[in-house]
Structure 1
Amino acid sequence: MALPETLTREPSSNPKNCEPALSGKVSHQQQKETTILPRPVRIIHVDDDLVEHKLVRKHLSSLEHLSYELISLNNFPEALDRLRQESFDVGLIDYHLGAHTGLELLTRLGGRLSSTPLVILTGRGDYTVDVEATNAGAFDYLDKNELTPALLERTIRNVRVQFKTEQQLRESETLLKHAKTEAEAANRAKSEFLARMSHDLRTPLNAILGFSEMIQGQFLGPVGGKRYLDYASDIHQSGQLLLTMINDILDLSKIESGNVELHDIEIAVDELISTALKLIEPGATLAGISIRTRLDPALPLLRADRQMVDRMLFNLLTNSMKFTPRGGEIVIQAKVSGGDVQLIVEDNGIGIAANQINHVLEPFTQLKSSQEPSSGAGLGLAITHSFIEIHGGTLTVESELGSGTRATLTFPSNRLH
């Protein structure tokens, strides 16, 4: 018995819905609308039983509103080859295909990644076959004994919608992956550029700092006028500020690229604070700011990267000085709390507005509440935040506008000796 391969049924036109134009002629737009028909739904049916092919054709033929093109195949190899070469809107696949199965065809075509959404048809209406079909990647499972034209139409419609949705999701996922890859490459390029630029800037900057120090110290003889000494001092201070910014950018580049390594040693907390005070007190004295310490007795040794901890504490202190007016006070605390060690820098300066607190830890953030023109690149707190996280700790900032700021570095108990 011969098996008809292709059966096409276009939707019939309805004369009642075609109204002539008022002029008695059909407009170009009306002609376009009446001649363009929706593309028929391409359906492939694979079954080794010719009776089943007739039944499916009968069901489809009874659907008045469905325009379709039906491809009927009755053997596994031909179906596999056809589905690999072409895409269909829906594939109706019998569970038994001679020596093969519909599940095997599903697997060979990639399941849900196939270019055609496949539906398994079977006379074995049981839960096991349903689960097998779903696991193999079928978009639906139909029992032949319960198949009706309405059920077949609804299944075709739902499968097409589901397949299109999954395609769109996969395309979106692919676009997101490409965008992520491009963003990561751009970020690496940015970090490499900043690192190279910063490294190249340090060479001439070292010369600027060195020669300005020589002029300030008048090592090769007296300078002609006091104003020149003031200029040399300004040059040196500007160079130091620029060097700090360059070091911050280098640190940020290392953090973003994941190239930061910890070199842990045991640190005495009181000695750590003493060193920070020596660095910060000259500037605090000039600014008219007093500094007090409040240390718990018998503080444990801290296991951490000394250079990073020095940098964190220095950043918090310089930040407090920037926002504390003359006559203000900064308090440095070190204490054990809940098994953790906390280093706290608290000031009674102008504070931070509530809507800015969430942004102070972001890179390149300059707070508008500073009483002086912004200096630096706005990286100090961001770098401090990253450094403490690398140590497994946290940085918290509490502040109220007009009432000062409290910044707390918390080192976890596993870093205590």
Structure 2
Amino acid sequence: MLASALLMPLAMYLLVGGAALPFVIAAMGLASGMITLALHQHAMYEEAAAGQVYSIMAVGLVLTLADPNLADMGLAIAVLGPVLASLLARGPLRRQGWLLLGVIGVLAVVASLVPMASISINDLTLKLVSGLTLAVVAGIVALSANRIRGAYDVYDKAQMSAYRHLIEHVQDAVIRFSSNGELLLASRSSESLFGCRRYELSGASLGERLHVLDRPAYLTAFADANQGGKSRTIEVRMRQDDPVAGVRVPHFIWVEISFSPVLDAAKGELRYEVVALFRDVTERRDQQAAVEEARRVAEEASNAKSRFLATIGHELRTPLNAVVGFSEMMSSGIGGDLSPTHKEYAGLIHQSGKHLLEVVGMLLDMSKIEAGKFELQPEPFLPDTLVHNCFRLVENLAQERQIRLVGDISRHLPMLVADERACRQILLNLLSNAIKFSHEGGTVTVTMKRQGQCVNMSVVDNGIGMAPESLQRVGEPFFQVQDGLNRRYEGTGLGLSIVKGLVDLHDGTLRAMSEIGAGTMVTVLLPINGPAIKVVETATVTPLHREPAPIQVTPWHDEKRKAQ
């Protein structure tokens, strides 16, 4: 726009002399400059660049049509249009510029064969106008290229400055290797990591810092990145110097090294430069070692506890059996008649001995379950027989507390493949807990039914109940809701933990629901076919034809059985 404004007086002078072409060229330049400036101010940069390219090519077309020669300055001006498009615009405008240049070339050939009389002009004037226009257009293209190059230089410098700042201030040590394995760059943080100056890491110094046992892993990982173009991460031991100490005693730290190849598909090299990040992970390794050591100590303590319980249980069982047996003989009068007082003492001894035997039995069972030595002997049996047998065993305890026992058993229960002794112990423990934590005169109900591919066995009481936080700890060894010295209910807290262990051995599920003051319901789900469920055998059979259901006369044993 500035060039057109400066040349406008000359163009008007030539217009008065009868040459209209200079005025047309100056007017086109002034108009296109104003239009593209307005587009640029409205942030329409792509449209502004297109306006410049089209204006230059339009001026070149006019001058080409005015000059009868095939190779003229107008065609050279038109060529600068696609060049400017390559500098300023994207793909579509570039393609349009070269397409328009081809059209202008065709028109130039036509103009050289058929001169346009309407735009004839003096040769000297035409050469002057074409030369000035070419100079202005070439100046515009050169100015654009210079400004773009300057912007890229500033951008490159800013990028390099940002990368250098990042490398120098990052906590991890950054080291760059050439394709031949030579050290090209080391960040400032590498000095604090290795305890030496950066220049001391050049040559073979870095490799010598590696622990002898870790050098093969380091070389393998570096080769994968350098030759294979693959990123690798390893942890190795490297020597760290102490610049303050007079005598350098080798001190090794654990370092995590991340190798990343610098890939450049354009070069197609067989070896790549490698950027490596070195991070001190000694503290993390020490923490992992401490955790492993703590786990080992805990496992040894648990095993020692299990061995101690098993040993103490076996040592206590023999004398306790003697105590229980002889006290029972004394109470029955086999050794002679006793006075009422002595008979009472013998009964107390017998009761205490049986209690201790039960505790020892639970300790032995718990130690076997924790040690994984509790062997199941699964056999098919009718699960409903468990209820009556267990009721007989806890009948005396229930009568002492005036607890009513109720059994609700579904009809036609399938055969259950499980360890009958373990299942009996599960139900006994659940019944004992329910009776112990029920109020006097309460009710304990045992329900048994089929649930999918499992047998559902639930024990419900209306006793004291448990809080939600206590429910989350159901099954923990030695856990009791009331665990103080003044607790009201006796026990070791092993009953539910043994139940959970036996249920887990059967691949079953233990669930507990409770509310303080409203009672507790403990549900055990045992797979019908034992730990390994066979879907084919336990799948529901869909009948293809249904006969009308006859009127059933249900005998007494087909009703829901209730034991009291």
Which TM-score tier does this pair reach, normalised by the shorter chain?
Answer: 0.5 to 0.7
Q: Distance in 2 between matches of 1:128 and 1:414?
A: 67
2:199 counterpart letter in structure 1: L
Contact 1:293 1:331 in 2 (8 A): yes
1:249-264 residue pairs with structure 2 within 5 A? 249-264=363-378
Q: 3-state DSSP class of the match of 2:392?
A: helix
Q: Distance in 2 between matches of 1:329 and 1:197?
A: 37
Change (3 A) 1:390 1:129: farther
1:394 counterpart letter in structure 2: T
Match of 1:353 among 446, 467, 478: 467
Partner of 2:199: 70
1:251 counterpart letter in structure 2: D
Match of 1:412 among 524, 527, 532: 527
Contact 1:42 1:70 in 2 (8 A): no
| Unaligned residue ranges in structure 2 (runs of 5+) | 1-171, 228-232, 239-254, 531-536, 539-564
Higher normalized helix content (fraction of residues):
2
Partner of 1:200: 315
Change (3 A) 1:372 1:329: farther
1:15-414 residue pairs with structure 2 within 5 A? 68-71=197-200, 80=207, 83-84=210-211, 111-115=234-238, 125=264, 141-142=274-275, 159-160=277-278, 163-164=279-280, 166-223=281-338, 225-368=339-482, 373-414=488-529
Q: Distance in 1 between matches of 2:483 and 2:196?
A: 69
Superposed CA offset, 1:2-59 (max 9, x none): xxxxxxxxxxxxxxxxxxxxxxxxxxxxxxxxxxxxxxx9999987989x77x759x9
Superposed CA offset, 1:127-186 (max 9, x none): 9999x98xxxxxx934xxxxxxxxxxxx8xxx34xx11x332222222211221121112
Q: Distance in 1 between matches of 2:435 and 2:356?
A: 18
Change (3 A) 1:128 1:300: farther
Contact 1:191 1:256 in 2 (8 A): yes
Q: 3-state DSSP class of the match of 2:529?
A: helix
Q: Which moved more, 1:175-184 or 1:371-380?
A: 371-380
Change (3 A) 1:257 1:127: farther
Q: Which moved more, 1:371-380 or 1:309-318?
A: 371-380
Change (3 A) 1:180 1:219: same
Q: CA deviation at 1:343?
A: 1.0
Q: CA deviation at 1:396?
A: 1.1
State the Cα RMSD in Å: 4.3
Higher normalized strand content (fraction of residues):
1
2:406 counterpart letter in structure 1: R
1:167 counterpart letter in structure 2: T
Q: 3-state DSSP class of the match of 1:410?
A: strand
Superposed CA offset, 1:188-226 (max 9, x none): 111111111111011111111011101111112110x21
Change (3 A) 1:302 1:101: closer
Q: Distance in 1 between matches of 2:463 and 2:323?
A: 34
> Normalization by structure 2: what TM-score?
0.51
> Normalization by structure 1: what TM-score?
0.68
Change (3 A) 1:48 1:339: closer
| Unaligned residue ranges in structure 1 (runs of 5+) | 1-40, 105-109, 134-139, 143-154
1:281 counterpart letter in structure 2: E
Superposed CA offset, 1:290-327 (max 9, x none): 11111101111111111111111000001011011221
Change (3 A) 1:173 1:275: same
Q: CA deviation at 1:275?
A: 0.8
Q: CA deviation at 1:69?
A: 4.3
Partner of 2:6: none
Q: Distance in 1 between matches of 2:224 and 2:407?
A: 80
Instruction: Give % identity.
Output: 31
Q: 3-state DSSP class of the match of 2:425?
A: helix
Contact 1:45 1:73 in 2 (8 A): no
Q: 3-state DSSP class of the match of 1:414?
A: coil
Contact 2:177 2:185 in 1 (8 A): no
How many residue pairs get aligned? The number is: 333
1:347 counterpart letter in structure 2: D
Superposed CA offset, 1:360-388 (max 9, x none): 32111222299983322110011101111
